A = this chain, B = another copy of it.
């Protein structure tokens, strides 16, 4: 087999925190790029390399870290091919000073259509006409658009963030598509663009995280040590992009051994809520255990 070639490898990180009821992502260049850096020689493993590098650059300790996807750049210069390995990392947003153009951004700035917590945002109205034009051009597009955007009465599936972004890209309804020279089909969907394929990587991270929280208790990496059941619910709703039924949520959580009471109460308006922490077993296993959250769809 011939054609093996030297290659340049880079790590791209999607660092996620939740604060003020919004999921945030750590960005460079005033929100237009994800943090990235070359794979360095000293690193034991890719994951260790990423942790080390993020902690040095941002001062944030990463809790859960998960590999997302590896991309190869097809048409880079003769100088050598480039491979990007992307990661999702969870942390708590601390008020540490951030360097010049480093900032936390609400991830729904990039994907407004993914936030369905408040009803009737009218976002679909912006997207649907362009989508309709694209669908009419070929026969096999209909069912894909229907499934991704729940066009008929079908239920919205929050895990399809990546599929939806890819569809909008193919349909020429995001700026990146126009930038890459693809045909457009109308006004761009709302939401701001990013460098290269960074918005696609962010969509991958959202899809993955939304899928992960359903069966593994990774949310605890995003919450403070103590929290109320409503805090937990709001955190999950922020990530999932839709609201949950309070009573059913509590029933499911309390039916498991996920949490334990701290014995203290939260203050604030209204009746004080019990404070909880994740149970010792869960903390020891660092999110290895299984969980059930009321997000699975029939």
Spell out A's residues near B (CB within 8 Å): 1-9, 37-46, 49, 53, 67, 69-72, 74, 80-81, 83, 85, 140, 143-144, 147, 157, 163, 281, 284-285, 288-290, 292, 296, 298
Contact = CB atoms under 8 A, between A and B. Distances in A.
A292 B7 CA distance: 41
A184 to B, nearest CB: 23
30 contacts: A1-B37, A1-B38, A3-B42, A4-B38, A5-B39, A5-B41, A6-B7, A6-B8, A6-B80, A7-B7, A7-B39, A7-B83, A9-B83, A43-B74, A44-B74, A45-B71, A46-B70, A67-B70, A70-B70, A70-B85, A83-B83, A83-B85, A140-B284, A140-B285, A143-B281, A144-B285, A144-B288, A147-B285, A147-B288, A163-B288
Please indicate which of the listed interface residues A72, A81, A296 has the most CB atoms of chain B within 10 Å of its own CB: A72
4 smallest A-B Cβ distances: which pairs? A3-B40, A4-B38, A6-B6, A70-B70
A163 B281 CA distance: 17
A151 to B, nearest CB: 14
A85 B72 CA distance: 11
A182 to B, nearest CB: 16
B81 A41 contact: yes
A72 B39 contact: yes
Q: Could you say how many copies of this chain the assembly holds?
A: 2
Nearest to A2: B40
Nearest to A289: B147
Nearest to A86: B70
Contacts of A281: 143
Contacts of A296: 296
Contacts of A83: 7, 9, 83, 85
Contacts of A43: 72, 74
Contacts of A46: 70-72
A39 B5 CA distance: 8
A2 to B, nearest CB: 7
Contacts of A70: 46, 67, 70, 85
A45 B67 contact: no
A4 B40 CA distance: 5
A296 B298 CA distance: 12
